[in-house]
């Protein structure tokens, strides 16, 4: 099973600032990585797939990069609605696995 | 539009069984692979099972293998999860999800159904 490690666990950021979230895979997953945003009481929302492709309707301030084992989600200028928990997921191998999440909170 | 609606969650005793359903609409169900994901209280997401569009390829997480069974009814456009020998650690919100427009990840999710395993 591929272990997905996200860091940091919590990120305190001021509105308008940039947020950089990291996700590391325990073995190569090529670019088969997705990022999700989840707010309390809601289902997750797909942000990025293929490591860097924005899903339909996702604002351009969200961008993904990386390949193999190291991946980054960047939120260029945090808006109030972006404060949430973010998860990465690998879909290169079965079983698919999620990271434990990074909570982005208001500083 | 694409809709996924889970049901069947309940309070059940350890060792008990439960069957979850996911009713779908707005897309040709028979053409799409389906996935179950769960989330324990205050915890992260856990992928638990996948079934291909025709039902001929199935995968499970180790944590549920041998206890849970995924299935689908392509006539009724529904997905199921039969959960047996339930444990306290199976307590979670269970989501069904699919990939429709994206070429990776899961871009449509249901609202989830709560399963609580407690004596």
Whether A55 sits inside 8 A of B102 (CB atoms) is yes
* pLDDT tens profile B38-82: 999 999 999 999 999 999 999 999 999 999 999 999 999 999 999
State the average pLDDT over residues B90-96. Answer: 98
* pLDDT tens profile A61-84: 999 999 999 999 999 999 999 999
pLDDT at A107: 85
Give the C-alpha separation, B47 to B40, whole Å: 12
Q: Among B104, B107, B110, B114, which would you mutate to test the A interface (most chain A Cβ atoms within 10 Å of its Cβ)?
A: B104
Whether A48 sits inside 8 A of B105 (CB atoms) is yes
Q: Residue A81: which residues within 8 A CB-CB, separation 6 or more?
A: none
Q: Among A49, A52, A95, which would you mutate to test the B interface (most chain B Cβ atoms within 10 Å of its Cβ)?
A: A95
Task: Specify which residues A4 forms β-bridges with.
Answer: A25
Question: Rounded to the nearest 10 degrees, how much is the dihedral formed by the CA atoms of A65, B32, B29, B51?
Answer: -110
Q: Does A49 touch chain B (CB under 8 A)?
A: yes
């Amino acid at each position: 099973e591929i272990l997905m490690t996200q860091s940091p666990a919590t990120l305190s950021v001021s509105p308008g600032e940039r947020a950089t979230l990291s996700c590391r895979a325990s073995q190569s997953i090529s670019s088969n990585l997705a990022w999700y945003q989840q707010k309390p009481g809601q289902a997750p929302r797909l942000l990025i797939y293929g490591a860097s492709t924005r899903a339909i309707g996702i604002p351009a301030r969200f961008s993904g990069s990386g390949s193999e084992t190291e991946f980054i989600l960047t939120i260029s200028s945090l808006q109030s609605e972006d404060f949430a928990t973010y998860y990465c997921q690998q879909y290169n191998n079965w079983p698919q696995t999620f990271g434990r999440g990074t909570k982005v909170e208001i500083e | 539009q694409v809709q996924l609606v889970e049901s069947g969650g309940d309070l059940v005793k350890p060792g008990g069984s439960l069957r979850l359903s996911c009713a779908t609409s707005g897309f040709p169900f028979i053409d799409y692979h389906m996935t179950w994901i769960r989330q324990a209280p205050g915890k992260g997401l856990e992928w638990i099972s996948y079934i291909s569009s025709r039902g001929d390829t199935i995968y499970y997480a180790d944590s549920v293998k041998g206890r849970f069974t995924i299935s689908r009814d392509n006539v009724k456009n529904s997905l199921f999860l039969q959960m047996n020998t339930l444990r306290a650690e199976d307590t979670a919100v269970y989501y069904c999800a699919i990939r429709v427009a994206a070429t990776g990840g899961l871009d449509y999710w249901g609202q989830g159904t709560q399963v609580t395993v407690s004596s």
